[in-house]
Structure 1
Amino acid sequence: MNKNLTSQKKIQKLFVVLVVVLAVLSLVPLYFGVITSFKPNSGMVVNLIPENLTLTNYSYLFKETKIVRWFFNSLFTSSVGAAIIVYLSALAGYPLGKKSFPGAKLLFWILIAFMTIPKEALLLPLFIMMKEYHMFNTYYGIILPALAWPFAVFLMKQFISTIPLDVFDAAEIDGCSPFRLFHSILLPIIKPAVGALAIFAFVYVWNDYMWQLIVITSVDMKTLPLGVAGLQEESTSNFGRLMAGATLGAIPLLAVFLMFQRHFTAGITMGAVKG
C-alpha cells in the first residue's frame, strides 16, 4: 500500500514538472515578441538576453501613428459589446433554461444550428445591412453584428439550467416579478458564468478582425488590430514596431482575464461539479 502511494506521488510530481516545463515553453514566443518590441533595429531578437534595448518603437507608435485612438476604439467597442452580449445572453438563456413554453426545444435546436454557421457566410448580408443603415465607420457598425452570438446564449442557458428550480419557485411565491427575479436573484447566482462569458465576449469583439476590416475604412475609426496590420503594410521589415503594437494590444486582453479570473475559474469548477 505504501509503495502504491509512493509511486502515485512520484507520478503526480512528474506531471507537475511536465506542466511547468510546458508552461515555460509556451511563454518563450511571448518573451521574444516583447523583447523584440524594445529592439532598436528592424530585425527579430535571436539571443536570449538582447542588448541596447530602447523605447524607440513605442515612441514611433505614439508620435507617428494614431495608436491612442485605435486603442480607445478597440477598448470601447469590446467593453460595450461584451457588456451587452452578457446581458442579452443571460436574458435569453433564462427562459430557455428554466421556462417551459411551446417550441422551447425547437428554439434551442435552432440556436445550436446557428452555432454551426461560419461567420464568413454572414459577411455579405451584414455588409448590405450596414450599407442600408449607413453604419460604416461607426461604433454601431462594429458592435451590433457581434451581439447576436449563439454561443453566448448557449453558454448562459447551460449554466442557468443547473440552478435548482426551487429558487425561482420561492421567489415567485414571495411575489417577486420576473424582472426583479432576473436582476436581483438570477444574475448574482450566475456570476461565475457572467465572468467567463465576459472574457470570451471581450476577446470575441476585440479579435473580430475580418468584420472590422470590412466595416471600417477611416483611419480614425480603425481598431488596434487593424492599425497594427496597417503597420505591417507600411514597414514589412520592421518587426520591432509590429511587436510593439502587438504587445500593446495584448495588455487589455490580459487585464480582462486577470479581472475576471476568479469568476472564470469558479465557472469552470461549477460546470465540472454539476456535470
Structure 2
Amino acid sequence: MTAKKKTLSVGVFLFLICLSFLVLFPFGALVLASLNPAAELMRFGLNLHIEPEKLSLNNYRYLFSEEARLYLQWFKNSVLLTVLSTIVTLFFSSMVGYALAIYRFKGRNFILGLVVFVMMIPVEIMMLPMFKEMISFHLINTYWGVILPFAVSPFAVFFFRQFTLGLPKELLDAARIDGCSEFGIFFRVMAPLMIPAFGAMGILQALNSWNNFLWPLIVLRTNDMLNLPIGLSGLLTPYGNNYNILISGSVLTVLPMLVLFLFFQRFFIAGLTVGGVKG
C-alpha cells in the first residue's frame, strides 16, 4: 500500500470515528443522565460530565416498582403491538408482492402503479378517513385499530416484489409438476427463499411500529392501552418531577430494537443487497 493510500485510509478512519462520536453522543448523554438524579438533569441538561459519587441505578429500580407500574404496562403494549403489527404486515405484504412478481393477470401493472403512488402519499393525509373507518368498525381504543390500517405496507409490497423477481422460477414449475398447490408453493418453496427479505423488512417494520406515535395517539384513549412513545411523552412537565422515569425509560426503550438488529443484521444486510441488485 502506497503512502497516499495509507494517508487516505487513516483520514477515512478518523472521519468515521468522529462521525460515530457525533451519532453516539446523544445516547451516551442519555445513559449518563439516567444514572443521575433527575435534579441533575434539570440543572445541567444532557452532558457527558461524570461524577461517580452521584451515579446509581435508582432510576431503573424505580421503573420496576409499584409506583411506576404504568411504564411496564406501556412496555408490554409496545411489545404486543410491534409483534402483531410486524407479523401481520409481513404476512400480507409478502403475499401481495409475491403475486405481483409471479403471476400474469389483467390489471397487474395498474395495481403496481397504485402501490407506488400510495408510497408517495404522506400518511398524515390519510389519517382522517382511516379514523372514520376505525369508528365505523368500532376499533377505537383497540390494538387492531392500530394494526389493521397498516396491515399491507406499500413499501413492503414493492420490496417483496423486487426480491421475488430475483428468485429462480424453475422451482415454481417443478413444484407444480409435483402437484403442489399455489399456496403450498408460496409457503413451502418460495417463503424459505425469501428469509433474507423477511429479515430485512421485519426489522424495518418492527422499528416503525415500535416508534409509532401519531396513529396510536389518535386511536388509543386510555392509559392502560398506550404504547411507550405516547406514554413517555405524557411524562414531560415543566417541573421535571417525572424525569426519573422518562430518562431511564427512554434508555430501556432503545434496547429491544438494538437487540433485534444485532440478532438479525445478517438477514437485514442480505435482504437489502439481494433485493437491491436483482429484478
Contact 2:28 2:48 in 1 (8 A): no
What residue identity is the alignment partner of 2:4?
A: S
Distance in 1 of aligned mates of 2:91 and 2:243: 40
Alignment of 1:255 onto 2:255: no
Two-structure CA RMSD over aligned residues (Å): 2.0
Conserved? CA contact 1:36–1:239, under 8 Å: no
CA displacement at 1:105 relative to structure 2: 0.8
CA shift, 1:273, in A, is 4.6
2:272 aligns with 268
Q: Deviations over 1:36-77 (max 9, x none)?
A: 011113312434323311233233433323111100000001
| Counterpart residue number, 2:55 | 53
Structure 1 unaligned blocks of 5 or more: none
Alpha-carbon distance, 1:16 to partner: 3.0
Q: Which amino acid is the alignment partner of residue 17 of structure 1?
A: L
Change (3 A) 1:235 1:218: farther
**Which letter does structure 2 place at the counterpart of 1:147?**
A
> In the alignment, residue 59 of structure 1 is paired with which amino acid?
R
Shift in Å at residue 9 of structure 1? 4.5
Aligned length in residues: 272
The 5 Å alignment of 1:177-196 reads 177-196=181-200
The amino acid that maps onto 2:181 is: S
SS at match of 1:261: helix
User: Does the 8 Å contact 1:38/1:240 carry over to 2?
Assistant: no
Aligned partner letter, 2:115 = L
Alignment pair present for 1:16 and 2:33: no
Shift, 1:78, TM fit: 0.5
- Distance in 2 (CA, whole Å) between partners of 1:251 and 1:264 is 18
Correspondent of 2:169 among 165, 169, 173: 165
Q: Could you tell me which of 124, 147, 151 is aligned with 2:151?
A: 147
Letter in 2 for 1:122: M
Residue in 1 aligned with 2:28? 31
Counterpart position of 1:126: 130
Return the alpha-carbon distance in structure 2 between the equivalents of residues 221 and 212 of structure 1. 9
Q: State the Cα deviation string for residues 15-36 of structure 1 (Å, max 9, x = none).
A: 2332233123311111001110
Distance (Å, rounded) in 1 between the aligned partners of 2:74 and 2:171 = 45
Alpha carbons of structure 1 residues 157 and 50: separation in structure 2 relative to 1, 3 Å: farther
Asked if residue 208 in structure 1 is aligned to residue 212 in structure 2, the reply is yes
CA 1:120–1:150 in structure 2 vs 1: closer, same or farther (change >3 Å)?
Answer: same
User: How far is 1:234 from its partner?
Assistant: 7.5
| Gap change, CA 1:91 and 1:17, over 3 Å in 2 | same
User: In the alignment, residue 41 of structure 1 is paired with which amino acid?
Assistant: A
- Tell me, in whole angstroms, the C-alpha distance in 1 between the residues paired with 2:58 and 2:236: 17
Q: Does the 8 Å CA contact 1:67/1:227 hold for their aligned counterparts?
A: yes
Deviation at 1:150, TM superposition (A): 0.8
Closer, same or farther: CA 70–238 of 1 in aligned 2, 3 Å? closer
With over 3 angstroms needed to count, the CA separation of the structure-2 counterparts of 1:109 and 1:132, relative to structure 1, is: same
Give the corresponding residue for 1:232: 236
Distance 1:59 1:22, change over 3 A: same
Aligned-residue sequence identity (percent) comes to 36
The alpha carbon displacement at 1:212 in A equals 0.7
SS of residue matched to 1:187: helix
Give 2:192's aligned amino acid.
P
> TM-score under structure 1 normalisation?
0.91
TM-score (norm 2): 0.90
Shift of 1:124: 0.9
- TM-fit CA distance, 1:237: 6.7
How far apart, CA to CA, are the structure 1 residues paired with 2:61 and 2:164? 48
| Gaps in structure 2 of 5+ consecutive residues | none
Residue 81, structure 1, aligned to residue 85, structure 2: yes
CA distance 1:214–1:149, change in 2 (3 Å): same
